[in-house]
Amino acid sequence: MTSAADLAALAALLADETRAAICLALLDGRAWTAGELAAYAGVAPSTATGHLHRLVDGGLLVERRQGRHRYVQLADPSVAYLLEDLSARLDVRSVPARGLRAATVDAALRRGRTCYDHLAGRLGVAVTDAMTDAGLLDQAGGFALTSAGAAWLTGEVGVDPAALRPGGRRPLARGCVDWTERRQHLAGVAGAKLCAAFLDRGWVTRIGSGRAVRVTPTGRTALRDLVGLTDLD
């Protein structure tokens, strides 16, 4: 049973702005080096290393070594859900962006981004709504992929059927509250496979090296034909 001390210790891991910034950066689902995270958070490498040790020891991050390089990433999808859920509980304040570049990045993230390994932002919510309207997702009785949805993913989208078989700790479909849209987008195994397929097929592409993504002209045609989705601005 979880104790108050354990819960407080977990909360303390995110009660530091640098550690919070590191965790948010890793929401892109990729592995980063300590040096990259130090530069992102605007701290010295030694400072970043100390924070990374705490996050790894606390179970939020895992460390992977490749040759001389040390990489870290979120421990598992549940950490991404925790971060996104906490972010959704914050009031969205209208804070002036610090310059044109910051405003451009913020707008791009709100339009479309990855949340660990699935689509989020207006794009993620729009795809989820379109799938629901088409009978591919059932949000009325919880959040579930329908039999038609499974057939659509494996047929039209090209997901390996073996990836959707029951088993494992991760749910097949899960609603993740979007922190900018305040509505649910598709997460879980189905959300991850959908995002990977969209990226592999070139329907969605990353903007730079961050979390922001955009729909390509080919993707606009595909989403219109597959689920009748046309409003992607």
Confidence class for position 168, pLDDT limits 50, 70, 90:
confident
pLDDT in tens, 181-226: 888 899 999 999 999 999 999 999 998 777 889 999 999 999 999 9
What number of residues does the chain have? 233
Percent pLDDT > 90 in the chain is 54
CATH 1.10.10.10 domain position(s) in the chain? 4-75
Distance CA 144, CA 172 (A): 8
- pTM comes to 0.74
Q: Domain 4-75 maps to which CATH number in 3.90.1710.10, 1.10.10.10, 3.40.640.10, 4.10.490.10?
A: 1.10.10.10
Q: How many CB atoms lie within 10 A of CB 115?
A: 26
pLDDT value at position 200?
95
Distance CA 48, CA 45 (A): 5
Distance CA 224, CA 11 (A): 43
pLDDT value at position 101?
59
pLDDT in tens, 79-129: 988 888 888 777 655 445 555 555 567 788 889 999 888 999 999 999 999
